[in-house]
Amino acid sequence: MIFLKSKDEILIMHEANKILHSILDTVKTYILPREGTQTLDSVAYSECGNLGVKPAFLGYKGFPKSLCVSVNHEIVHGIPSPDKILQEGDVVSIDFGIEYKGYFADAARTIIVGQAPENVIDLVKNTKLALYNGIEQMVVGNRLNDISSAIEKVAKDNKYGNIKKLVGHGIGRALHEDPQVLNYIDIKSPNIRLQEGLVLAIEPMFTLGRSDIAVMPDGWTAITVDKSIACHWELSVAIVDGKPFILGAENV
């Protein structure tokens, strides 16, 4: 079931996402060589307390941390650890959610630690481009596949692996709501028409190699089977006055 949101609800979600992005801004300052990924989680958790919000991922289906930190060939759901130390050139995806006034916010960014090869820099840039191209399609009258097609085109144009087993989603009073938002076209998938008040978390995930994934023994960390570098960007977006309205983000 798809739950369309009122403008008042979207304003609350906008506030929630502003808080979320302020926390991610703070976390980003700790993404440095020789820093443990547990530090990033501790900062995110502490900031939630300071700002009066609840970390959405902590305890969600048993996830043990507040922040997902995925490094290099880890795609999503990486578990922070004091033993996982960042190095120069690492590609770090941080995925975070909060609950605020009964509504959820969800976003992800990918940051390069220091210097990296040009193809890695391009991967991060183009995955973000795919996100924004998908967002542009969130217009009343378009269909869900218009978002998926815009994302898929960037992957195809750049010959990236496009992760198909992980998808975006609706968001609101639950962290994950209908509909699923694929990053590719699947003619068997529901292709709903986009309506005023729809709120989606759009999240392309591309790799420099293949799209095949595996899950580590921790039960959470999704990795590329060929160990190729992965990238993940995500924003929560509402349709307001017929057009896309990015929740909480100004200069992400």
Tokens at 184, concatenated: 């590719």
Residue 89 near residue 116, CB atoms below 8 Å: yes
Sign of CA pseudo-dihedral 57, 99, 207, 148:
positive
Tens of pLDDT, residues 117-130? 999 999 999 999 99
Domains along the sequence of the chain with CATH: 7-246 (3.90.230.10)
Q: pTM of whole model > 0.85?
A: yes
From residue 92, alpha-carbon distances to 67, 120, 167 in Å are: 12, 12, 19
pLDDT tens-digit series, residues 72-89? 999 999 999 999 999 999
Model pLDDT for residues 162-189, shown as the tens digit of each residue? 999 999 999 999 999 999 999 999 998 8
Region 34-63 average pLDDT:
98
**Average per-residue pLDDT for the chain:** 97
Encode pLDDT of 30-41 as tens digits.
999 999 999 999
Report d(CA 124, CA 32) in Å as an integer.
Answer: 17
